[in-house]
């Protein structure tokens, strides 16, 4: 299993002592920080709102499907080592505020979450009608809005690049780098298809830990084989981290070598982190 999670993560994330969004009325109103206990989604110790619970159950059914290729996602479900939130429309002011609050909370809790993998999963009420390219643009709009919301408080994690064209890029929020996986109703790839737009914020450092333990390649190859068996061909977008920018993979849309990220980020060197 490798090093204990809490020990491995010491010193790898730059965070504030307290969540800076707890005094924001719009953030509190749209917060939905769900924890699974005894197979039930709870928000602040109470059963989750009806729609949040229904979307969460639908997502779990997809990820638990025997043919779903991502073994990391299956581990999340089996160990309940994820947190889930349901928000208003993707890239809206309300969704951004609630997600910023909850993602910062996840980063604070991350060192104490046990399990091989840990992720924050955010699903959104809409938009329901999207094209693959439209979803890609909206995904990046959401990440850009998150970045702007966090700029007064957080610097970009020093271990990764803030340039989406750089092979060392990972999205950073609350001092934590994430590999983001988007699911949408517009996806032509079954493993990336879900009726509600969804962003999975995967802890970047869990992959680095697997590399240090020389287990990453075996897991990667198993996922690729399962994906190829499901879809009938290898997914050309499943590039190795460090070979091409992972930004190309976030939306799940097949893109060419001239693809450019529609937004840019800065490292927030003047932030109060």
Q: Residue 1 has what pLDDT?
A: 40
Q: Residue 234 has what pLDDT?
A: 58
Alpha-carbon distance 215 to 245, whole Å? 21
In a domain, 260, yes or no: no
Q: How far is CA 161 from CA 28, 96, 103, 165, 267, in A?
A: 31, 23, 20, 9, 8
In a domain, 205, yes or no: yes
Q: Residue 76 has what pLDDT?
A: 83
Alpha-carbon distance 243 to 231, whole Å? 24
Number of domains the chain is built from: 1
In a domain, 170, yes or no: yes
Alpha-carbon distance 219 to 229, whole Å? 15
In a domain, 8, yes or no: no
In a domain, 261, yes or no: no
Nearest residue to 76 via CA among 32, 116, 33: 116
**CA 226, 185, 92, 45 torsion-angle sign:** negative
Range of the domain at 196: 20-249
Q: Residue 251 has what pLDDT?
A: 95
Q: Residue 218 has what pLDDT?
A: 62
Residues of the chain with pLDDT under 50: 1-3, 6, 237, 241
In a domain, 14, yes or no: no
In a domain, 9, yes or no: no
In a domain, 220, yes or no: yes
Where b means 16+ CB within 10 Å and e means fewer, 59-68 reads bbebbeeeeb
């Amino acid at each position: 299993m490798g090093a204990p999670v809490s020990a491995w993560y010491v010193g790898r994330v730059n965070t504030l002592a307290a969540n800076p969004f707890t005094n924001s009325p719009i953030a509190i109103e749209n917060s939905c920080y769900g924890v699974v206990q005894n197979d039930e989604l709870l928000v602040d110790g109470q059963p989750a709102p009806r729609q949040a619970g229904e979307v969460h159950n639908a997502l779990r059914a997809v990820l638990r499907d025997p043919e779903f290729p991502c073994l990391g996602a299956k581990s999340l479900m089996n160990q309940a080592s994820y947190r889930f939130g349901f928000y208003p429309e993707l890239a809206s002011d309300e969704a951004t505020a609630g997600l910023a609050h909850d993602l910062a909370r996840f980063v604070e809790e991350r060192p104490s979450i046990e399990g091989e993998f840990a992720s924050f999963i955010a699903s959104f009420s809409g938009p329901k009608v999207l094209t693959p390219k439209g979803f890609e643009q909206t995904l990046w709009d959401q990440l850009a809005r998150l970045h702007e919301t966090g700029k007064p408080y957080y610097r970009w994690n020093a271990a990764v690049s803030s340039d989406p064209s750089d092979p060392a890029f990972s999205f950073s929020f609350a001092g934590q780098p994430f590999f983001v996986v988007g699911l949408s109703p517009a996806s032509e790839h079954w493993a990336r298809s879900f009726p509600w737009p969804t962003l999975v914020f995967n802890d970047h450092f869990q992959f680095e830990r697997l590399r240090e333990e020389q287990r990453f390649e075996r897991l990667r190859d198993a996922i690729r084989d399962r994906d190829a068996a499901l879809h009938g061909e290898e997914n050309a977008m499943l590039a190795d981290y460090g070979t091409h920018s992972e930004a190309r993979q976030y939306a799940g849309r097949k893109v060419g070598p001239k693809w450019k990220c529609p937004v840019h980020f800065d490292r927030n060197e003047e932030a109060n982190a």
